[in-house]
Amino acid sequence: MTSLIEKHAPRTHDEKHRIRSKVQRREHLTGWLFVGPFGVVFLAFLIAPLAYALYLSLFQKKLIGGTSFVLFDNYVKAFTDPSFLSGAWFVVRFALIAIPVQIAVALAMALILDAVTSLFTRFSRLMIFLPYAIPTVIGAVMWGFLYSRSFGPLSDVFGLFGATAPDFLSSNLIFYGLLNIVTWQWAGYYMIILYAALQGIDPTLYEAARMDGAGRWQVARRIKIPLIAPALILILVFSLIGTLQFFNEPQFLRYLAAGTIGSDFTPNMYAYQQAFGLANFNYGSAISFALGGLVFICVYAFLFFTRKRRSFL
Amino acid sequence: MSHHSSASAGHRRPQRHLPLQILLGFLVIYFLVPFWWVIVNSSKDAPGLFGGGNTLWFADQINYLGNLEQLFTYDGGIYVRWILNSTLYALAGGVGATVLAVMAGYGFAKYRFAARRFSFAVVLGALMVPATALVIPTFIMFAQLGLTNTVWAVILPSLLNPFGVYLMHVYARDAVPDEILDAARVDGAGEARTFLQIALPLMRPAVVTVLLLSAVASWNNYFLPLAMLSDNRLFPVTVGLGLWQGVASANNAGGTSLWSLIILGSLVSVIPLIIAFFSLQRHWRGGLSVGGLR
């Protein structure tokens, strides 16, 4: 390489430019070759369906007159449809309670596991993470059995104290029944992410803080938590996206909690019911698009309010 | 990342705070209760299950073998088929998604090309698109192509994993130095060989993590196969157990024996993933830290 350049020593500006642009073009091409296969899948299974859903959502199928272009009528319908609104209200309410609970549990466990080292904590770490390996629907079934009046243990346990067992599958308590399931399912996964972030902190920081007289709690609050803020925000965003799309657990529990969970319990269930139950794909698309809009707004609002701490994007 | 192993031996003294360990003990019990319930109750036959009493202990006559035999032979062994289908979807979807994500993440991290920043921003934006919002239009597109109710309807959409691309991008950016790649190029290695022989080994922890996460996502998927498939011989085990649950609840008297199959079926269906997680633990722990830390 070097000998080649020496031989042709004085190059004109033009020549240099041509060589550089040739190298650049090669780099462009190889770059696109690496990204291309994913790009094709991305266009086919993300961009195209999104565009198609948007298109579908602008039409209405009527018994008389067939399918016609109605612009935003489906959205107007959705945002005045009590089924969609109550589902959306449920997932927003659920997100506001369930996400802080999950993250608080995960953070507490990660801090304990980071501070205390023993054979038992290593074992605990794996056991707490275990539910992540369980399909959400299977997790819902397992808890559904535990809640069940016919073969769950709750009535036995409460019977010991002469009390009546709470029915987590009743319409009064289903919120808490589901809250418990998602916490069980996801807290361990979030714990592992937070734990990994905590393990990445330089421990000399703790030594310095200890010399300044900081206790264990102060170290956790003033050093550990601020330093893992990016990881906390990352899992908050993921849990927000997941919770607003709530589908698997309530859909599965419907069989055990007959009457409590209707087909419009969450927006996603309602969209599924409209599209696959009633073959109303136009309205189903509009609902899932409206839900997508809701997710976007929530995520961007959240990222906007935490933008100072954000470093993962 | 490398400093913590030496640190835990040196700076970080082992701490044995007893109250915290006891608290942790209670948490572990909480996380294990559903597993315990499923393990003990799959030892029961249908009358034992509904007979009440020891809901948190084994049956007097442990009936695992009888239940297993029933599970694997019920309805012409459909359960075994579901497990095999789940395995196929998880392997094909997981491996395919990982190959695409590793290549794309490496491309985004290591090459300067036109529209690179814009494309990457679009991929990041896609992280926020609810996956289920894509199922309805994808279903109609596949219906027009005659692909619904085939294995492709489940495998092809699973190839999309924007989070995997993000994870690989971050990891490749930090773990693969440009100097090594340039040195390989000067030695005459082509771009493909540089990627396969130099970069790929350096990215291994993240590759294993993405593979595991994509395989788990495919194995756990419920909404997509539920919408796409109508032939129950193509169902993955999640949708299959849902089908049984529907039958068992609709038909309470005749369905009682199905409940014990559902309980044992749930237990058997989680064993493969638990084994995968434990045996690959060493690899994925390094990779998981990437997404959150930097």
Give pLDDT, residue A150: 72
Interchain CB contact of B230 with A (< 8 Å): no
| Residue pLDDT, tens place only, A159-204 | 777 777 788 888 888 899 899 999 999 998 899 888 888 888 888 8
Give the Cα separation of B120 and B143 in Å (integer).
Answer: 31
Yes or no, beta carbons of A202 and B23 under 8 Å apart: no
CB-closest option in B27, B28, B160 to A46: B160
Banded model confidence at residue B184, pLDDT cuts 50, 70, 90: confident
Domains and CATH numbers, chain B: 14-62 (no CATH), 70-293 (1.10.3720.10)
- CB nearest to B31's CB, from A135, A188, A281: A188
Instruction: Considering only the beta carbons, identify the residue of A41, A193, A291 that sits closest to B288.
Output: A193
With cut-offs at 50, 70 and 90, classify the pLDDT of residue B95: very high
**pLDDT of B294 strictly over 50:** no
Which residues of chain A neighbour B1 with C-beta distances below 8 Å?
Answer: 200
- Residue bearing the bigger pLDDT, A270 or A119: A270
Contacts of A224 in chain B (CB under 8 A): none
Joined tokens for residue B33: 């209760």
Cβ-based contacts of B270 with chain A (< 8 Å): 133-135, 138
DSSP letters along B6-36, please? HHHHTTS-----HHHHHHHHHHHHHHHHHHH
Q: A220 pLDDT exceeds 90?
A: no
Query: Residue B113: its chain A contacts at CB < 8 A?
Result: 27-32, 35
Q: What is the pLDDT of residue A59?
A: 83
Dist CA B46 CA B85 (whole Å): 27
pLDDT of residue B142: 93
Percent of chain B with pLDDT over 70: 85
Return residues 244-273 of B near A (CB < 8 Å). 245-246, 248-249, 259, 262-263, 266, 269-270, 273
Stretch among A145-154, A266-275, B53-62, B146-155 having the lowest mean pLDDT? B53-62
Give the closest-approach CA distance of A298 to chain B in angstroms.
10
What's the mean pLDDT in A21-47?
A: 85
- Of residues A188 and B115, more confidence is placed in A188
Q: What is the pLDDT of residues A120-147, one digit of tens each?
A: 888 888 889 888 888 888 888 888 888 8
Q: What ipTM describes this predicted complex?
A: 0.82
Q: Do A32 and B127 touch (CB under 8 A)?
A: no
Where residue B209 falls among pLDDT bands split at 50, 70, 90? confident
Nearest to A200 among B27, B35, B293 (CB): B293
Please state, in angstroms and as integers, the Cα–Cα distance from residue A228 to each residue in A97, A309, B85, B149, B291, following that order. 22, 10, 40, 45, 12
Which amino acid, one-letter code, is at A288? S
CA distance A168 to chain B (A): 15
Q: Is residue B89 a contact partner of residue B154, using CB atoms and an 8 Å limit?
A: yes
Arithmetic mean of pLDDT, B234-238: 93
Tokens 């916490």 locate to A183
Residue A146 in tokens = 């535990």
Which segment, A85-94, A256-265, A294-303, is predicted with the most confidence on average?
A85-94
Of A29, A141, A244, the CB nearest to B245: A141
Highest mean pLDDT pick, A29-33, B125-129, B250-254: A29-33
Q: With 70 as the cut, is the pLDDT of residue B40 above it?
A: yes
- Test A39 with B119 for CB contact under 8 angstroms: yes
